[in-house]
Amino acid sequence: MNTLQVKRKIILEDGSEYVGYAFGSLEAKKVEIVFNTSMVGYQEIISDPSYTYQAVVMTYPLIGNYGMCDEDYETKIPTISGLIVREYCDRPSNFRSTASLGEIMEKYGIVGVSGIDTRKLARHIRDVGSCKAYILPAEEDSETALQELLDWKPATDAVAKVSTAEKYEEKPAGEAKYHVVAIDCGMKRNIVRELVKKGCTVTVVPWNTGAEEILDLKPDGVFISNGPGDPTDVGATIRTIRSLLGKVPIFGICLGHQIISLAYGAKTYKLKFGHRGGNHPVKNLQTGKIEITSQNHSYAVDTESLADTGLEITHTNLLDNTVEGVACRKDLVFSVQYHPESAPGPQDSNYLFDIFLKNMTAWKEEKQDA
């Protein structure tokens, strides 16, 4: 059966419907539906663990044309629920490609819908906010499906689902200058690549690893990764970071940024439709420079809640003035809401890894002098 001729529909929780054609898995799935404005990087998007339980609407109209490349995955087993596109290309042209997008989506149970007006759908999500959706065969009864969708409650175990089950280590080719313990909340592979490239041995540990166990590994720094879902769902990680504050340099990205803020006593909230794309302008308040950033998150740190926490705001989003970075100089702790390791994507923010290295160097020197 040619799945590209099988009709599928998307029902949103407000009752609106969009009808298109299937590719990838033919399962029926209930999801949270969001949109991404990136022009490239669909492979990195479908393999980013931060999209667990979500279906992503791609606003760029042609998806699948360069296939899937073995070296470009952000995780070995993708956990995204679905991908919705205007036009799907099932015959990629790329010497690096080893499979089509549809083949990989079928392998990992990712549902796809093509042939719909993605501009209209993205605008609808922008107007009503990220919402629940049901992707199912076009012939299914819409009224029954809508009631099932309204009764459905999204899972809250996303981080536990995607975090590593066991500790593992990755080393640079040459001599390691630093030892970083990375708490995996759904970490993108390119973060580890960047740290290793900078001369770090990286010990990756599960999301619920305790502070004492981390300190027993004698790290020069602790990194907290990106990941899916509501940051308040990962209380164990928040408690771990709270216990580590002031004891070792800490750097967080995306969900890691939210966890650090919560550990200091700040609050988070869910954005109406999130930030997802590769061209978000962020102002570095310390240098005055504007960085073009790659972003993927549903939650943000509440600005007013940062008062009296010991954290200062270092970066802000120029589109909506949300907090994009915080730091505590005394504790050598800092974090950003966006992705400096983005690939493909802007490289404006790669310097943040160097700040982490400088913090670790300063901490090691202070220990030696003590």
Q: Is 199 left (phi over 0), alpha (psi -120 to 50) or beta?
A: left
Contact 116, 59 (CB under 8 A): no
On the 0-12 / 13-18 / 19+ scale of CB atoms within 10 A, 349 is buried
Cis (ω within 30 of 0) for the bond into 344?
yes
Residue 297 falls in the annotated catalytic set: no
Number of H helices, E strands in the chain: 10, 19
Pick the catalytic residue from 89, 185, 200, 254: 254
- Which residue of the set 44, 106, 291, 341 is catalytic? 341
- Is 74 among the catalytic positions? no
Tell me how far apart the alpha carbons of residues 341 and 357 are, in angstroms, rounded to a whole number. Answer: 15
Contact predicate 266/308, CB 8 Å:
no
Residue written as tokens 């390791």?
341
Pairwise CA distance, residues 63 & 56, whole Å: 12
- Choosing from 257, 280, 297, 339, the catalytic residue is 339
Pick from 139, 118, 144: nearest CA to 56: 118
Phi-psi region at 102: left, alpha or beta (left = phi > 0; alpha = psi -120 to 50) = alpha
Give the span between the Cα atoms of 258 and 266, in whole angstroms. Answer: 9
Task: Give catalytic status of residue 339 as yes or no.
Answer: yes
252 membership: H or E segment, kind and range: strand 250-253
Q: What are the residue numbers of the active site?
A: 254, 339, 341
